[in-house]
Amino acid sequence: MTTNSQVERKDFNDVMVPCYNPMEIIPVKGEGARIWDQAGKEYIDFAGGIAVSCLGHCHPVMVNALQEQSQKLWHLSNVMTNEPAIRLARKLTEVSFAEKVFFANSGAEANEAALKLARRWAVDVHGAEKSEIIAFKQGFHGRTFFTVTVGGQAAYSDGFGPKPGDITHLEYNNLAELEAHMSEKTCAIMMEPLQGEGGLISPTSEFVEGVRALCDKYNALLIFDEVQTGNGRTGDFYAYQGLGVTPDILSTAKSLGGGFPIGAMLTTTELAQHLKVGTHGSTYGGNPLACAVAEAVIEEVSKPETLAGVKEREQWFRDGLEALNAKYDMFAEIRGKGLLLGAALNEEWQGRARDVLVAAGEQGLMVLVAGVNVVRFTPSLVITKEEVELGFERLDKALSSLKK
């Protein structure tokens, strides 16, 4: 038996594919919005595992759901269905526009299903020439080859050989450009209803309403990637509900499982019928453990008081960031919605978001970046006032150390 302390960060470089460069510390325990590393040092977690740990770490409702299901049934495959999967699908149809659900294991897989459904629908209903997927620059949709190619950063999809075709990238929030480009050849538009990885960019209501209208005009499907914005993150259960624009297909993951891997594609009965038996699938999709946890998570998150609490906490964060900015003058803008927030660095601090992340880590605070100019915050949706205050004390020290 090896103990945890015998494993160190330097071992990562020996045994792991080097596509990540993790922080020096190795967390070993989490509770609420706190985590502890191997040395017992405590951190306040404003990162939430990149918008995943929506109920914080080891929330009792998740632990109970997992423990209970773990003694009943772990896995079947889709040769058989299971109770947690059907119950979770039912709940997802109750909290959204959706009538049908496909389960996957990640955001990328949910998006892959969404894109394949759109293409299959177009082939079935309109013919093979209706194949163009329009997406937006700086958008992020995952790392499978189809989804990463639809994503708006060529650097992520270059260098892997021939790419999936007929994908167009346009500027987010530029309705005129989209209007000029669209045609009956457009199969679907895929977009985030608030760009996360791209720097916390909200769509204007003119843009998002215009996208819907253009999809209707040209018989194209609207796919909302709500992998990051979904499950209460923006203060509505799904961000589309706050925008008043309903997509045809929606992908969800990250906070859906609160830390247990699961993704889902939501759609209508009319569209769903195009993925008939044998057209798509996943061994683990709809896994009973994952679905039991997600069921407990969305029951908790969809409560009106949890969603109202997100809006309240957004204000705590905005107030905290504004106060620090008054003191240190580092941010040009605080943006985003709910607990998907970004502090965009001003001219003087351009390119230094990672320095803030590292300095915060030294003070015992976890934050994220979105690109090189935005410090991102995606904490637990139920983070306490005390945890937020302690986190801001540490962020204050971190910014102070950078100013010196």
Ligand X SMILES: *Cc1c(COP(=O)(O)O)cnc(C)c1O
Residues at the site binding ligand X, with contacts judged by CB under 6 A: 106-108, 111, 140-142, 192, 196-197, 225, 227-228, 253-254
Tell me whether residue 312 is annotated as binding.
no
Least separation, in Å, of the C-beta of 278 and ligand X? 24
| Comparison of 69 and 228: residue with beta carbon closer to ligand X | 228
Q: How far apart, in whole angstroms, are the C-alpha atoms of residue 147 and residue 155?
A: 13
| Comparison of 148 and 307: residue with beta carbon closer to ligand X | 148
| Comparison of 49 and 320: residue with beta carbon closer to ligand X | 49
Tell me whether residue 3 is annotated as binding.
no
Tell me whether residue 226 is annotated as binding.
yes
* Three-state DSSP state, 349: helix
Tell me whether residue 224 is annotated as binding.
no
| Comparison of 111 and 282: residue with beta carbon closer to ligand X | 111
| Comparison of 111 and 202: residue with beta carbon closer to ligand X | 111
Token look-up 């079947």 returns 76
Q: Which pair of tokens denotes residue 128?
A: 């093979």
| Comparison of 192 and 387: residue with beta carbon closer to ligand X | 192
Tell me whether residue 290 is annotated as binding.
no
Tell me whether residue 225 is annotated as binding.
yes
Q: How far apart, in whole angstroms, are the C-alpha atoms of residue 148 and residue 64?
A: 36
Label residue 294 left, alpha or beta by phi (over 0 means left) and psi (-120 to 50 means alpha).
Answer: alpha
Q: How far apart, in whole angstroms, are the C-alpha atoms of residue 253 and residue 228?
A: 7
Least separation, in Å, of the C-beta of 146 and ligand X? 12
The alpha carbons of the chain give a radius of gyration, in whole angstroms, of 21
Q: Which residue is nearest to ligand X (CB)?
A: 107
Least separation, in Å, of the C-beta of 254 and ligand X? 6
Tell me whether residue 108 is annotated as binding.
yes
Which DSSP symbol is given to 245?
A: -
Least separation, in Å, of the C-beta of 137 and ligand X? 14
The pair phi, psi for residue 102, each rounded to 5°, is -120, 130
Least separation, in Å, of the C-beta of 109 and ligand X? 7
Least separation, in Å, of the C-beta of 323 and ligand X? 28
Q: 41 Cβ partners below 8 Å, 6+ apart?
A: 25, 364
Tell me whether residue 195 is annotated as binding.
no
Least separation, in Å, of the C-beta of 147 and ligand X? 7
Provide the angle, in degrees to the nearest 10, between the axes of the packed helices 83-95 and 288-301.
30
Among positive and negative, which fits the CA dihedral 220, 221, 222, 225?
negative
| Comparison of 33 and 108: residue with beta carbon closer to ligand X | 108
Strand 132-136 and strand 167-170: the pairing is parallel
| Comparison of 197 and 300: residue with beta carbon closer to ligand X | 197
Strand 186-191 and strand 221-225: the pairing is parallel
Least separation, in Å, of the C-beta of 368 and ligand X? 11
Tell me whether residue 227 is annotated as binding.
yes
Residue environment code for 59-74, b if the CB has 16+ CB neighbours within 10 A, otherwise e: bebbeebbeebeeeee
Element (H, E) at 224: strand 221-225
DSSP-assigned beta bridge partners for residue 250? 224, 266
* Three-state DSSP state, 86: helix
Tell me whether residue 283 is annotated as binding.
yes
Determine the residue type at 218. Answer: Y
Which one, of 304, 84, 333, lies nearest residue 202 by Cα? 333
CA distances for 294 relative to 54, 55, 96, angstroms: 11, 11, 15
Neighbours of 9 (CB within 10 A): 12
Determine the residue type at 330. Answer: M
Least separation, in Å, of the C-beta of 253 and ligand X? 5
| Comparison of 17 and 176: residue with beta carbon closer to ligand X | 17
Q: Detail the residues annotated as belonging to a binding site for N(2)-acetyl-L-ornithine.
A: 143, 282
Q: Detail the residues annotated as belonging to a binding site.
A: 107-108, 140, 143, 225-228, 282-283
Q: Detail the residues annotated as belonging to a binding site for pyridoxal 5'-phosphate.
A: 107-108, 140, 225-228, 283
